[in-house]
């Protein structure tokens, strides 16, 4: 039973082929610069060398055809024929209120994903392109959609409504949806497994911090609050995104600088966050390099990032009236010992105590970085969103 997982962006397409008998990855890869000249396909069959191919790939249909060519290639392939792919699982960013869980793709599902383009104009059209390109290249193969928002559909009204006229929710579904749900779902479960405790009994805060970042309060296994909102702009300070700010700043700045809606969106999504404050980079590695060299702008960017992250952890401990487990994941969460240390040092009022040596350990497995005395278990859990997509796909088509 083989499942192809596809994460389709507007100009990129990532894939992983799973053998679900043992959940092993047979091959993975990435097509970049779709729609531009010299697109790049990078294909890595497990246990064999990576291959890179530069060609013209104008749309997703060709991208998937090239991926299938590579998967079935005599030298670099891992399949005899495309017919060995039993199902395709797609990552979809926005499932709105339509999707509380993953779903098999049918006409209605596609219609609903299209209806949400308004809420996710950059992401959902790419998902539709990936789905339709798969239908063309793998006719008859069942497809499943897995949503970044679905895990957060359990949030209560008090957490997901904004304190603005209710009519905006009724008419336009303006509310908090939250994102990175697949990752928060995966790491909260992996954390409970690691601790050997039932998730139902735990209050967990999951910190998914990569280029984008969000925090989730997971109580009894379900998401009760999360820091991203109607869009992935709200919440933490991120690589290039502002995170929370006074909403009155937006009309004020638009007025002063005569900015259009798309210009102000661009400013807040692409030219803010670590990038804006450091003036150097959106990449935490460069920020911590700057910090270590004493660069004042990097130092401030780091301090703001850590301060805001820590304030959110405190607010989610308040939301759940306590916290048993704090989980760090994604690019920064899994790799940056200095960010974890700075955050945890200032959580002593919650009884958090981390072991500096354990915090420095590098490993691809879930691990504990807190001391035996710590009142909160602090874990680093590598996320695996693709595996969740593969598992959901496998389960749904075998129902
Ligand atoms: P995305 O949100 O795009 O999925 P990732 O979760 O892969 O991104 O996170 C990417 C970010 O992780 C990079 O921008 C970088 O800031 C950070 N990162 C990766 N490795 C390290 C490291 N060793 N130390 C600090 N930060 C790191």
Q: Can you tell me the distance from the alpha carbon of 245 to that of 241, in angstroms, rounded to the nearest whole number?
A: 11
Per-residue pLDDT at 399: 86
Any ligand 1 atom below 6 A from CB of 273? no
* 225 catalytic residue (yes or no): no
**Which 3 state secondary structure label does DSSP give 141?**
coil
Compute, in angstroms, the gap from residue 64 CA to the centroid of ligand 1: 27
Q: What is the number of the ligand 1 atom nearest to the C-alpha of 212?
A: 2
Pocket test for ligand 1, best of 240, 285, 306 (most atoms within 8 A of CB): 285
User: For residue 338, how many C-alpha atoms fall within 13 Å in the half-sphere facing its CB?
Assistant: 13
Residue with CA nearest ligand 1 atom 4 = 210
Compute, in angstroms, the gap from residue 27 CA to the centroid of ligand 1: 22
Phi and psi at residue 218, to the nearest 5°:
-110, 110
Q: What is the number of the ligand 1 atom nearest to the C-alpha of 288?
A: 25
Q: In what order do the strands lie in the sheet with 143-147?
A: 51-55, 39-45, 24-32, 13-19, 2-8, 85-92, 143-147, 103-104
Any ligand 1 atom below 6 A from CB of 114? no
Per-residue pLDDT at 186: 98
- Rounded to two decimals, what is the model's pTM? 0.96
Angle (nearest 5°) at CA 228 between 6 and 329: 60
**Domains assigned to the chain:** 2-147 (3.30.420.40), 197-380 (3.30.420.40)
Q: Can you tell me the distance from the alpha carbon of 60 to that of 13, in angstroms, rounded to the nearest whole number?
A: 8
Length reported for the chain: 399
Per-residue pLDDT at 73: 96
**Which 3 state secondary structure label does DSSP give 214?**
strand
Any ligand 1 atom below 6 A from CB of 323? no
Q: What is the number of the ligand 1 atom nearest to the C-alpha of 286?
A: 16
Per-residue pLDDT at 117: 92
Q: Is 362 annotated as a binding residue?
A: no
Compute, in angstroms, the gap from residue 331 CA to the centroid of ligand 1: 3
Single out the catalytic residue among 112, 148, 225, 324.
Answer: 148
Residue with CA nearest ligand 1 atom 12 = 331
Q: Is 65 annotated as a binding residue?
A: no
Any ligand 1 atom below 6 A from CB of 331? yes
Any ligand 1 atom below 6 A from CB of 212? yes
Q: Tokens 């940056």 identify what position?
A: 336
Find the helix or strand (DSSP H, E) in which 341 lies: helix 337-345
Any ligand 1 atom below 6 A from CB of 332? yes
Compute, in angstroms, the gap from residue 334 CA to the centroid of ligand 1: 8
Tens of pLDDT along the chain (399 residues) come to 999 999 999 899 999 999 999 999 999 999 999 998 899 999 999 999 999 999 999 999 999 999 999 999 999 999 999 999 999 999 999 999 999 999 999 999 999 999 999 888 888 999 999 999 999 999 999 999 999 999 999 999 999 999 999 999 999 999 999 999 999 999 999 999 999 999 999 999 999 999 999 999 999 999 999 999 999 999 999 999 999 999 999 999 999 999 999 999 999 999 999 999 999 999 999 999 999 999 999 999 999 999 999 999 999 999 999 999 999 999 999 999 999 999 999 999 999 999 999 999 999 999 999 999 999 999 999 999 999 999 999 999 998
Per-residue pLDDT at 122: 82
Q: DSSP assignment of 76-102, as one string?
A: T-S-S-GGGEEEEEEEES--TTT-SS-
Q: Can you tell me the distance from the alpha carbon of 56 to that of 143, in angstroms, rounded to the nearest whole number?
A: 27
With CA atoms as reference, report the closest residue to 301 among 282, 316, 317, 315: 282
Compute, in angstroms, the gap from residue 369 CA to the centroid of ligand 1: 19
Residue with CA nearest ligand 1 atom 7 = 331
Per-residue pLDDT at 291: 98
């Amino acid at each position: 039973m083989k499942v192809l997982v596809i994460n389709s962006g507007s100009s990129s397409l990532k894939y992983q082929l799973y053998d679900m008998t043992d959940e092993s990855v047979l091959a993975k890869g990435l097509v970049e610069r779709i729609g531009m000249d010299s697109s790049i396909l990078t294909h890595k069959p497990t246990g064999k060398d990576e291959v890179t191919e530069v060609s013209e790939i104008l749309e997703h249909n060709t991208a998937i055809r090239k991926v299938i060519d590579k998967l079935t290639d005599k030298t670099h392939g891992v399949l005899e024929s495309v017919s060995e792919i039993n199902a395709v699982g797609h990552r979809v960013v926005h499932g709105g209120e339509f999707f509380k869980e993953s779903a098999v793709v049918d006409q209605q599902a596609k219609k609903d994903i299209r209806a949400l383009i308004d809420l996710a104009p950059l992401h959902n059209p790419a998902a539709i392109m990936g789905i339709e390109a798969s239908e063309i290249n793998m006719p008859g193969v069942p497809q499943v959609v897995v949503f970044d928002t679905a895990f957060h559909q359990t949030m209560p009204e008090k957490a997901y409504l904004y304190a603005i006229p209710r009519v905006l929710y009724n008419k336009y579904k303006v509310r908090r949806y939250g994102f990175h749900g697949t990752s928060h779902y995966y790491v909260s479960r992996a954390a409970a497994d690691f601790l050997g405790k039932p998730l139902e009994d735990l209050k967990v805060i999951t910190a998914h911090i990569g280029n984008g970042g969000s925090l989730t309060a997971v109580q009894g296994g379900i998401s009760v609050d999360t820091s991203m909102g109607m869009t992935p702009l709200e919440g933490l300070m991120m690589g290039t995104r502002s995170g929370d700010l006074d909403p009155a700043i937006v009309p004020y700045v638009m007025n002063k600088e005569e900015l259009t809606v798309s210009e102000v969106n661009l400013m807040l999504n692409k030219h803010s966050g670590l990038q804006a404050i450091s003036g150097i980079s959106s990449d935490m590695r460069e920020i911590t390099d700057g910090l270590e060299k004493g660069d004042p702008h990097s130092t401030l960017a780091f301090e703001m990032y850590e301060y805001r992250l820590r304030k959110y952890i405190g607010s989610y401990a308040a939301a759940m009236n306590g916290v048993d487990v704090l989980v760090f994941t994604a690019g920064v969460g899994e790799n940056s010992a200095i960010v974890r240390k700075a955050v945890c040092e200032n959580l002593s009022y919650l009884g958090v105590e981390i072991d500096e040596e354990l915090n420095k350990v590098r490993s691809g497995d879930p691990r504990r970085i807190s001391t035996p005395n710590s009142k909160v278990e602090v874990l680093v859990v590598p996320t695996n969103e693709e595996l969740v997509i593969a598992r959901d796909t496998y389960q749904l088509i075998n129902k």
